[in-house]
Amino acid sequence: MNAYDFEAQTLGGRPAPLADYRGQALLIVNTASKCGFTPQYAGLEALHRKFKDRGFSVLGFPCNQFGHQEPGQAAEIASFCSLTYDVSFPLMAKIDVNGPAAHPLYAWLKHEKKGLLGSEGVKWNFTKFLVSRDGQVKGRFGPATEPKAIEAAIEAVL
């Protein structure tokens, strides 16, 4: 099993098989528009633009499970990300990352790369999972890790 075996939906509601990204390195991030870490959208966009021509993409998964910090509907999320941070990386439909309704991709990511002290649960918005070109999880970075600090890890999987 690898990341390319999963499917998501775009923010616009269209199917988004991760197989479309086969051969690319990915940074998969649960995002929120009203979080103290929301300014990381700018850093994520910078990573996306810097490495996209080398086979890399950021995939954003809006999530409202932490402090209800992503209350908006798809159109509001898309507008906020575009107007505030000029986001060009793909944004998927809002999902749960923890609990019984967790998206299957996130259930797999968390199992593959556990957090502190072996915990699987995502602790907050802007937890980042780095996936190599072969679809394997190579890194997990907490919300406080700024996107720029992940550059070397991205270089290593490219």
Position 115 scores a pLDDT of 78
CATH of 3-157, one of 3.40.640.10, 3.40.30.10, 3.60.15.10, 3.40.50.300: 3.40.30.10
Q: Output b/e per residue, 37-46; b: 16+ Cβ within 10 A.
A: bbebbebbbe
Average pLDDT along the chain:
95
Give yes or no for a contact between 65 and 98, defined as CB atoms under 8 angstroms apart: yes
DSSP class of residue 136 equals -
How far is it, in rounded angstroms, from Cα 140 to Cα 2?
A: 15
Residue 40 CA: distances (Å) to CA of 76, 134, 144, 148, 157: 18, 26, 9, 9, 21
% of the chain surpassing 90 pLDDT: 94
DSSP H or E stretch at residue 1? none
Tokens standing for residue 139:
């890194």
Residue 38 CA: distances (Å) to CA of 88, 134, 155, 156: 16, 29, 24, 26
Provide the annotated active-site residues.
35
Domain boundaries defined on the chain: 3-157
Q: In which band, very low, low, confident or very high, does the pLDDT at 1 lie, cut at 50, 70 and 90? A: very high
Over 80: is that where the pLDDT of 116 sits? no
- Residue whose token pair is 């700024």: 146
How far is it, in rounded angstroms, from Cα 67 to Cα 36?
A: 11
- Residues listed for the chain: 158
Position 117 scores a pLDDT of 75
Position 74 scores a pLDDT of 93
Please state the separation of Cα 31 from the chain's center in Å.
7
Residue 95 CA: distances (Å) to CA of 9, 53, 132, 138: 10, 28, 23, 22
